[in-house]
Chains A and B, each alone.
Chain A
Amino acid sequence: MTEASFPGLVVPRPKLPRPRRREVTLALRTAGPLALLGGWWLASATGVLSPDVLASPLTVLDAARELWSDGQLTDALRVSLTRAVLGLAFGLAAGLLLGVVTGFWRLGEELLDSPLQLLRALPFLSLVPLFMVWFGIGESARIILIAVATTFPMYVSTAGGVRNVDRRLLEAMRSFGLGGWQLVRQVVLPGALPSLLAGFRLSMTLSVIALIAAEEINSTSGIGYLMTQAQSFSRTDILSVCVLIYGILGICADLVARLAERVFMPWRVKEAAR
């Protein structure tokens, strides 16, 4: 039986993504970063990239090993990560809280949204000198700076996501007696989760940028300090190690977001459009 014996008829061809093996997905995902590394290595090996501009991957690896073995790298990482994670945690919590309040309650939006939009427009880097005056040059100033910087992306994404939760669903759940905090926790937050995770990703990136800025405040430890030192000695290999670490932190943050998606949104893993 072919199409020929039934003129005018066709085989329906669904435009569906074919199920793909996990290994293939994994290979495709790692291909991009590996290609970047390969390009870097090739440029260094052929001399297109001179060592004064950027050290070759092997030199950078050597530098990393050296920093690792004398304990500088682990120290710097521990200090920097603590700052970033603490600041990010405060920032995410604040952004989440403010976003839910303004997205869910009209009064909250009327009262809070415009001041927050105003503050959001201030470039946080310009706040660094002010923060030094207000909070001193200690650890708290750095953490507060990171927290402030990461609050706003989380706030904007959360408020948008909460506002977009299906009104009819809320209406239905209210009729079953769900209200207030229960409604937020059981319906609103799961519904807004994709936006929350997008906000998390943005805040995460910003926390690293804020970390660099924060570690330039008269710092004596951390990756930023390591960079400042490398800069004064023109060690591009150490500078590259630090830059790479920032990149790896970015990828790790993405992995965390993906994992959170899997854990918190099991119904999205095998999505079916029925």
Chain B
Amino acid sequence: MSVAVHIEGLRRTFGTRSVLDGLALDIRRGEFVALLGASGTGKTTLLRILGALDRPDAGTVLVPEARTIVFQEPRLVPSKRVLGNVVVGLPRGDASRERGLRALAEVGLADHARAWPHTLSGGEAQRVALARALVREPELLLLDEPFAALDALTRLKMQDLVGDLVRRHRPAVLLVTHDVDEAVRLADRVAVLKDGDLVTDETVTTDRPRDATDPAFTALRRRLLADLGVREPAPVEEGAVR
């Protein structure tokens, strides 16, 4: 088993509150882990530490050299065209251009290569951010609620797109999300962060493509929601509700 992320005894304190407190997590190469947790539990903080944007106060953190982040907002440079944003930081030249165009084609935005970021819709901008992360061929892809600002339909399409791209490129993925369905649909493993540590860490065994009405799916979903403090109605009514 080859490891892509190794975290042990991780602690991060803001003021007097330890947001992360003795957290341990291992992610294998090519594994897709979804991280759930209530607002303010420190999911973004964990991601920022893995992406070398924040510093841990204690503990061991090991990550691959090649890693990229997709933030909750697209964070595109307004003074660069779409293609320029995708290849930002890569060596100049035709090779990078080619790679950038290929990445844009993969997210379905080949026609927008010369557009300015402010002319893009929210979903398009987020797809550019995804292309920018993938073009570097990361061994670890960090996603911080990348679909949170999107409408339900675009979100479903984006989830399929990410699932597709990840299967093709096989990076290790840590996806932070509030959407339990999204986590169970996409991930190999689902973890719940609470009070500074992971309270749940479950492998998803259902076969892909996953069906939300599958009993194993709904059972896992209910367990995760319970860990998050949400009580679900009894299973009989569920078909009617959803």
List the interface of chain A (C-beta within 8 A of B): 1, 3, 6, 8-16, 273-274
Contact = CB atoms under 8 A, between A and B. Distances in A.
Interface of B: 3-6, 8, 44, 49-55, 60-65
Contacts of A273: 53
B52 to A, nearest CB: 4
A151 to B, nearest CB: 31
Contact of B62 (A9, A14, A15, A16): A9
A15 to B, nearest CB: 8
A89 B198 CA distance: 59
Contacts of B50: 12
B54 A14 contact: yes
27 contacts: A1-B6, A1-B8, A6-B6, A8-B64, A9-B4, A9-B6, A9-B63, A9-B64, A10-B62, A10-B64, A11-B60, A11-B62, A11-B63, A12-B50, A12-B51, A12-B52, A12-B61, A12-B63, A13-B52, A14-B52, A14-B53, A14-B54, A14-B55, A15-B52, A16-B54, A273-B53, A274-B44
A19 to B, nearest CB: 10
B224 to A, nearest CB: 27
B125 to A, nearest CB: 13
A266 to B, nearest CB: 17
What are the 10 closest A-B residue pairs judged by CB atoms, nearest first?
Answer: A12-B52, A9-B62, A14-B52, A1-B60, A14-B55, A6-B62, A12-B63, A6-B6, A10-B65, A6-B3
Contacts of B49: 12, 14
B54 A3 contact: no
A11 B49 CA distance: 10
A55 B61 CA distance: 61
A171 to B, nearest CB: 12
Given A13-B52, A14-B55, 14 more contacts: A1-B6, A1-B60, A3-B62, A6-B62, A8-B64, A8-B65, A9-B5, A10-B62, A10-B65, A11-B62, A12-B50, A12-B61, A15-B52, A273-B53
A6 to B, nearest CB: 5
A144 B64 CA distance: 65
Contacts of A274: 44
A167 to B, nearest CB: 9
Contacts of A9: 3-6, 62-64
Nearest to A18: B55
B65 to A, nearest CB: 6
Contacts of B64: 8-10
Nearest to A8: B64
A10 B8 CA distance: 14
Nearest to B60: A1
A10 B60 contact: no
Contacts of A3: 62
B55 A10 contact: no
B140 to A, nearest CB: 10
Nearest to B139: A8
B63 A10 contact: yes
